[in-house]
Amino acid sequence: MSAKTLYDKLVDTHKVCDLPGGDILVYVDFHIMNEYTSPQAFSGLSTKGVPVWRPEAHLAVVDHVNGTRRREGPDEASKLLISNLEKNCSEHEIALYTLGDPRQGIEHVVVPEQGLVVPGMLIACGDSHTTTYGAYGALGFGIGTSEVEHLLASQTLRYKRLQSMLVQIDGPTAPGVTAKDIIMHVIRTVGAGAANGFAVEFAGSSIRSQDMAGRMTICNMAVELGARAALIAADEVTAQACLNKPHSGQFEFDVNGWQSDEGAVFAREVIIDGADIEPLVSWGTSPDQSLPVSAAIPTERDMATPAAKTALKRALNYMGLQEGQSLSEVKIDCAFIGSCTNSRIEDLRSAAKLLRGRNVAKNVLAIIVPGSSATRVQAEAEGLDQIFIEAGFEWRPESGCSMCLAMNDDVALDGERVASSTNRNFEGRQGRGARTHLMSPAMVAASAIAGKLADVRHYSEMEE
């Protein structure tokens, strides 16, 4: 039997049958939905008179449109989305973590912390960052509304098999370098969209040394490469992450076998030296437009093609920056820690370690939104909330996507510059005209203190 990649193993074990045109039908072990991407799917089922086939294989979470300030409820449009989800889940007997539920939070934070993902699973969700679950040696990918409807009705999906890409990162990384820097470095090296049509497997000692939170950050942002799937081989770190969770045992698992076989062939391989990675910040409007914070913004002379020169001009015009400008001189208006990429307890701890005994710079609005209610409770039990509050951060009591995509009242204003732990720096992503600089939570904390883009390595005395 020929050697298989982890991706091919996952697809093969979930394949139901071949379909005309070269696609296959796959069985989905678990499906997650939210209030924003599910209404049309339920409406379609209602119109056709079709029931949900396996209600127990689905989970709904309110996270996209809800406010994060307890004193303010959702606006009318958001209330309608939430009430529709509550109605649909009640009608179809689907589990729902809605507002006020102690399990509520961002879907890709909630599912792992509840123990609802294990190696070998296939998970789908109407959200592109479902690639997060690849950190567990599971296959996760985002789907569209029509696919959500089909999945609710049949627990299956039409699927086009991808090619496999290996990203091998070996060697120790320097102090101050986090999982966020690793994946931003990969995106910068490979290019945004360069993994279209690929499932990307991350391997090497730099990846194996990451804890589960770091692995989830890496797989989460792999979608910015264009990858529809991201994977990390299951190991003992994975096994430990599956234990002692509220739903541990709901899905049986074994880490053995959920790795690529020795000799497995990948359509493309990328080799990166972990020692080459530095703490990064994005300077443009695409996740691959990033540099070490100690660097200067590129100039037109640095661009090899007319298209790259045009992209540079457009990005700098939107971001209000100049060619050759030093990144460390760029002042910020806002600092945000949150999102499905970097709002877990490990992310909060890393930022709090740096903030302890320090203060946010004047004129900087600093906000932190824990990724889930359970994360918030744990952080408060550890006293992290007080560290953030005393430093000058707003500690938000409700969890949600928040300023990552500005679908609630957490919106940066036109022209405001945000140091952000989120995953996308597209034009308008955090608000119309908002200017986003992506970085790790610790880098956000450093920038909040400095009032400008700052190097976390300047606060090395905070490291234990």
pLDDT in tens, 269-316: 999 999 999 999 999 999 999 999 999 999 999 998 999 999 999 999
Confidence of residue 408 (pLDDT cuts 50, 70, 90): confident
Question: Taking 50 as the threshold, does the pLDDT of residue 145 lie above it?
Answer: yes
User: Amino acid identity, residue 445?
Assistant: A
Domain check: are 320 and 435 in the same one?
yes
Indicate the average pLDDT of the chain.
Answer: 96
Which residue, 269, 298, 324, sits at the end of a domain?
269
Return the residue matching tokens 């015009």: 317
The mean per-residue pLDDT over the stretch 322-351 comes to 98
Domain check: are 162 and 226 in the same one?
yes
What is residue 464's predicted lDDT score, i.e. its pLDDT? Answer: 43
Task: Decide which of 56 and 69 is more confident.
Answer: 56
148 CB-side CA count, 13 A: 24
Domain check: are 263 and 136 in the same one?
yes
Structural domain of 349: 280-455
User: Residue 462 falls within a domain, yes or no?
Assistant: no
CATH number at residue 118: 3.30.499.10
Cβ atoms within 10 Å of 146's Cβ, excluding its own: 11
Domain check: are 294 and 433 in the same one?
yes
Tokens, residue 41: 């799917």
Question: Taking 50 as the threshold, does the pLDDT of residue 461 lie above it?
Answer: no
Return the residue matching tokens 């279209």: 196
Tokens, residue 389: 């509050």
What is residue 69's predicted lDDT score, i.e. its pLDDT? Answer: 87
Are the beta carbons of 88 and 42 closer than 8 angstroms? yes
Number of compact structural domains in the chain? 2
Domain check: are 244 and 377 in the same one?
no
Q: What is the pLDDT of residues 436-453, one digit of tens each?
A: 999 999 999 999 999 999
What is residue 76's predicted lDDT score, i.e. its pLDDT? Answer: 81
Which residue, 269, 300, 325, sits at the end of a domain?
269
Q: What is the pLDDT of residues 185-195, one digit of tens each?
A: 999 999 999 99
Q: Which of 93, 106, 92 is nearest to 35 (CA)?
A: 106
Domain check: are 292 and 418 in the same one?
yes
User: Residue 256 falls within a domain, yes or no?
Assistant: yes
What is residue 77's predicted lDDT score, i.e. its pLDDT? Answer: 82
304 phi-psi bin (left φ>0, alpha ψ -120 to 50, beta other) = alpha
Domain check: are 298 and 160 in the same one?
no
User: Residue 111 falls within a domain, yes or no?
Assistant: yes
Q: What percent of the chain has pLDDT over 70?
A: 98
What is residue 275's predicted lDDT score, i.e. its pLDDT? Answer: 97
Are the beta carbons of 45 and 300 closer than 8 angstroms? no
What is the chain's alpha carbon radius of gyration, rounded to the nearest angstrom? 21
Question: Taking 80 as the threshold, does the pLDDT of residue 75 lie above it?
Answer: no
Q: Which of 431, 426, 448, 430 is nearest to 335 (CA)?
A: 448
Residues, the chain: 464
Q: Is the dihedral of CA 72, 77, 78, 81 positive or negative?
A: positive
Confidence of residue 142 (pLDDT cuts 50, 70, 90): very high
User: Residue 306 falls within a domain, yes or no?
Assistant: yes
Range in 70-79, 99-108, 167-176, 266-275 with the lowest mean pLDDT: 70-79
Domain check: are 417 and 309 in the same one?
yes
**Which DSSP state fits 360?**
P
Which residue, 228, 247, 269, sits at the end of a domain?
269
User: Residue 461 falls within a domain, yes or no?
Assistant: no
User: Residue 1 falls within a domain, yes or no?
Assistant: no
Q: What percent of the chain has pLDDT over 90?
A: 94
What is residue 72's predicted lDDT score, i.e. its pLDDT? Answer: 56
Q: Which of 168, 189, 363 is nearest to 274 (CA)?
A: 168
Domain check: are 82 and 14 in the same one?
yes
User: Residue 220 falls within a domain, yes or no?
Assistant: yes
Range in 368-377, 378-387, 403-412 with the lowest mean pLDDT: 403-412
Domain check: are 135 and 40 in the same one?
yes
Question: Taking 80 as the threshold, does the pLDDT of residue 463 lie above it?
Answer: no
Which whole-number Å values give the CA distances from 348 to 50, 377, 441, in the listed order? 43, 12, 7
The mean per-residue pLDDT over the stretch 329-334 comes to 98
What is residue 409's predicted lDDT score, i.e. its pLDDT? Answer: 85
Which whole-number Å values give the CA distances from 272 to 97, 168, 188, 196, 214, in the listed order? 40, 6, 12, 20, 17
Confidence of residue 460 (pLDDT cuts 50, 70, 90): low
Domain check: are 231 and 328 in the same one?
no
What is residue 307's predicted lDDT score, i.e. its pLDDT? Answer: 93
User: Residue 173 falls within a domain, yes or no?
Assistant: yes
Confidence of residue 73 (pLDDT cuts 50, 70, 90): low
Domain check: are 329 and 250 in the same one?
no
User: Amino acid identity, residue 212?
Assistant: M
What is residue 271's predicted lDDT score, i.e. its pLDDT? Answer: 98
Are the beta carbons of 181 and 276 closer than 8 angstroms? no
